[in-house]
């Protein structure tokens, strides 16, 4: 695989483009908005500067990484020569199905089509294409340039050859791939989201406050970040979406999202991205400040 296209230039998309470009791959970064693409390039440039500050990258290597990225506002232009396409659009099944129908039309027949989805069925996504054997999940972790894991998800029809190619490619990026089969939430979110949901239930039922819940999990379980803080970083809307996928997929009430989470998302309190979640993110410091609603 020589040329890569990334669909979506948000947090995950620009991180994925960054990692491929830094490892020498020509990358086409695609989004519907030129403004979003320029914002993504600015983010990538700043993240490369952080790596330079740590002494792990030269200014010349930064420039080469940026030179490896071209931007496009149409899928057709961005993917026509791609050997691999990684879709990193919003976690919305209808949107992903439309994107994969388009990718199937606009890419060469031998191209591998991957999704960075964190929970949506790869088999369902593959059903929108005429090449289900070449559709696979590449679930990168956030922040992509830092986190080592790539969860590689095999759809029902994904071939052994494609799986092996993606596993080897992940290693070329300096990542550690781990293979999973295509069931709701895969491995990472099937385990993580019920924990986050239980933490929200503990708050909802008055077992403990926001700081106490996160402190207990950080100090008692050696988690680098408490589950409520992590939920804010992931996005409470994303957490709710994944829990709904688990609940619908398994039909098991243990995956039902906490009513508090539902209400917060409906109120527009989505965590870091909206400025308010379990913590307040608008005060401009690195200090953790519990949102007013949850202060004692």
Q: Is 8 helix (H, G, I), strand (E, B) or coil?
A: coil
Q: Quick one: DSSP state of residue 133?
A: G
- Tokens found for residue 234: 């992931």
Per 3-state DSSP, the chain is made up of helix, strand and coil in percentages (nearest 5) of 50, 15, 35
- Tokens found for residue 202: 């503990």
Residues annotated within the binding site are 8-13, 31, 91, 96, 118, 142, 273
CA angle 62, 63, 69 (to 5 degrees): 100
Tell me the chain's radius of gyration from C-alpha atoms.
Answer: 19
CA 84 – CA 81 distance, rounded (Å): 9
Residues annotated within the binding site for NAD(+) are 8-13, 31, 91, 96, 118, 142, 273
Strands 135-140 and 149-154: antiparallel
**Active-site residue list:** 118, 139, 151, 189
With beta carbons less than 8 A apart as the criterion, state whether 234 and 262 touch: no
């Amino acid at each position: 695989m020589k040329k890569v296209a990334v669909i979506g230039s948000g947090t995950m998309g620009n991180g994925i483009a960054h990692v491929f470009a830094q490892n020498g791959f020509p990358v086409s970064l695609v989004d519907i908005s030129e403004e979003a693409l320029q914002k993504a390039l600015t983010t990538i440039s700043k993240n490369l500067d952080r790596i330079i500050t740590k002494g792990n990258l030269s200014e010349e290597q930064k420039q080469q990484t940026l030179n490896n990225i071209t931007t496009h506002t149409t899928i057709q232009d961005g993917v026509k020569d791609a050997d691999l396409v990684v879709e990193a659009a919003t976690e919305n099944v209808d949107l992903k199905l439309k994107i994969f129908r388009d990718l199937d039309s606009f890419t060469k027949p031998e191209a591998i089509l991957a999704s960075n989805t964190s929970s949506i069925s790869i088999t369902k996504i593959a059903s929108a294409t005429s090449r289900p054997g070449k559709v696979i999940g590449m679930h990168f972790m956030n922040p992509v340039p830092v986190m080592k894991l790539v969860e590689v998800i095999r759809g029902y029809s994904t071939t052994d050859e494609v799986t092996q190619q993606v596993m080897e490619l992940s290693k070329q990026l300096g990542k550690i791939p781990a293979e999973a089969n295509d069931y709701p939430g895969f491995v990472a979110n099937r385990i993580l989201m019920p924990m986050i949901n239980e933490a929200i239930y503990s708050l909802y039922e008055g077992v403990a406050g926001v700081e106490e819940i996160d402190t207990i999990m950080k100090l008692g379980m050696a988690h680098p970040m408490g589950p409520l803080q992590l939920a804010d970083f992931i996005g409470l809307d994303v957490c709710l979406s994944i829990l709904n996928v688990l609940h619908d997929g398994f039909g098991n009430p243990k995956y039902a999202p906490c009513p508090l989470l539902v209400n917060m998302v409906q109120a527009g309190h989505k965590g870091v991205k909206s400025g308010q979640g379990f913590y307040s993110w608008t005060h401009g410091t690195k200090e953790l400040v519990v949102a007013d609603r949850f202060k004692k």
